[in-house]
Amino acid sequence: MEFWREHGTRATARLIRGKLGDAVAGRGVFNPLEAVPSVAERSETVPQIYGQRFLSQQPLQTYVIPQPSLPRVSLVTDSIGSDSLFGGVGTALLFSAQLAKRMNATLRVVTRTEAPNPSNAWQILNAYGIELPHEIQFAFAPLIEESPGVSRTDAVASPGLDIYPDETFVTTSWWSTAAALPSVPHDSIIYLLQEDERMFYPFGEERVHCEQILRTEDIRFVINTQLLYDHLVASGLPHLSRTGCWFEPAFPKSLFHTRDREPGGKKRLFFYARPNNPRNLFHVGLTLLDRAVNEGILDLEQWDVFLVGKDIPNVSFADGSMPQRCEGLGWKAYADLVGTIDLGLSLMYTPHPSYPPFDLAASGAVVVTNRFANKQDLSRYSPNILCAELDMQALLDALREGIALAGDAQARSRNYAANGLGTDWALAFEDVLQSLTAAR
């Protein structure tokens, strides 16, 4: 009856004839009760279905306002919540701040998945001693989920995001770039690319969309590390040699340095533990540590083990001992912990070295990580970073070597003195900023 009321007699008759035809053709027994869809089964438009599936790419809703006396740089990211600040988001904030300083511009932080917390932004800038000449602005451009019968226009409570005619936008992922492309001039977009984001996905629709964004040739790319830049150019993105440039991250000694420890205490091992980020190979690393304990390579009478990350399960090793879990650390608390570590284990199944190996090596620790593609040897960053093939025996051998090096104070100290890691973010971004501002 509901279908008849909504669609009329002719549509109901066509539906019944179709069902009867299926039954006669042997495609099942016709049940009149199945012919009437419920209200919950009403159809949705193709844009609605697409929009629900790829919500993160929802275009920014913008409107243009007159250009004020100062230009503006808008950083577009998912969140600057406490759980999001480490690594890439922190770098994006530092880069955008330095770009705004260079342009004598106002910096605006635009978030999409949760309202921005200004204190979190200041926490990072203060930790690195970065002062801005103008007050930071914050804006929330939320993703709006559409419901059947409700358009996104009806659902949006605010008029959208105000933009200047000559504003610069720093995007931080392929999906934030996809959201900006329909809404702002393409030549105003700087895509800060810090990983081969195609590797976030199996071969499917997300990967297709990501690849399409990475192939965009009328935006500018800034790429985190030469290793990643070289990999991207060689793996089907040759236009980046024309539209992209790269920088090496910095690790200021004011934040990353060795901390005093109690004499005679146990040595400390740091494992970067993110079970819900597949590229960090959580279960490979956990199995490696368990085998090292079981085979006597890692003596827990002499070592304390710290699992540092997010969503870490309550785990015990082969001997029944339990590592310490460290989650939700603030920026300074994280650096303070890293400064007490002797040996790190940090895996990353992508071309980028990732930040924890650099954080640890910059703070005086030895680190074991894995090789991948052109990421074969990281000794130019620090001789205390050991790379191994992603093979359990090779990783065990590297862990054994790392334990020995961590216990050799003289060799470890010599390697630390030979670090090639940068220590000044202003210098790290200098060539990139010159290139970007000269092109405007």
Beta strands in 84-197 (DSSP E): 106-111, 137-140, 161-163, 168-171, 189-193
- What pLDDT does residue 7 have? 42
- What pLDDT does residue 40 have? 54
Helix (H) or strand (E) holding 48: helix 46-53
Q: Do domains 53-247 and 267-417 have the same CATH topology?
A: yes
- What pLDDT does residue 279 have? 95
Domain borders along the chain are: 2-42, 53-247, 267-417
- What pLDDT does residue 146 have? 63
pTM: 0.86
- What pLDDT does residue 43 have? 79
For strand 168-171 and strand 343-345, is the pairing parallel, antiparallel, or unpaired?
A: unpaired
What's at 87, amino acid-wise? G
Q: Give, in order, the Cα–Cα distances in Å from 313 to each of 237, 308, 316, 377.
A: 38, 11, 10, 31
Nearest CA among 178, 165, 231, 190 for reference residue 435: 190
Specify the residue for token string 């275009």. 59
What's at 439, amino acid-wise? A
Q: Give how far the C-alpha of residue 304 lies from the chain's centroid of Cα atoms, to the nearest Å.
A: 29
- What phi, psi does 170 have (nearest 5°)? -105, 110
Asked if residues 394 and 388 have their Cβ atoms less than 8 Å apart, the reply is yes
**From CA 87, how far away is CA 92, in angstroms rounded?**
9
CATH fold for the domain made of 53-247: Rossmann fold (3.40.50)
- What pLDDT does residue 353 have? 96
Superfamily of domain 267-417: Glycogen Phosphorylase B; (3.40.50.2000)
What is the Rg, in whole angstroms, of the alpha carbon atoms belonging to the chain?
A: 26
Q: What residues pair up with 305 in beta bridges, in sequence order?
A: 269
Structure tokens given for 71: 């230009």
Residue 159, Ramachandran bin (φ over 0: left; ψ between -120 and 50: alpha; else beta)? alpha
- What pLDDT does residue 41 have? 65
Asked if residues 277 and 352 have their Cβ atoms less than 8 Å apart, the reply is no
The residues of the chain scoring below 50 in pLDDT are 1-13, 15-17, 19-30, 32-37, 39, 148-157
**From CA 222, how far away is CA 245, in angstroms rounded?**
5
Give residue-wise pLDDT tens across range 365-393: 999 999 999 999 999 999 999 999 999 99
DSSP 78: S
- What pLDDT does residue 84 have? 63
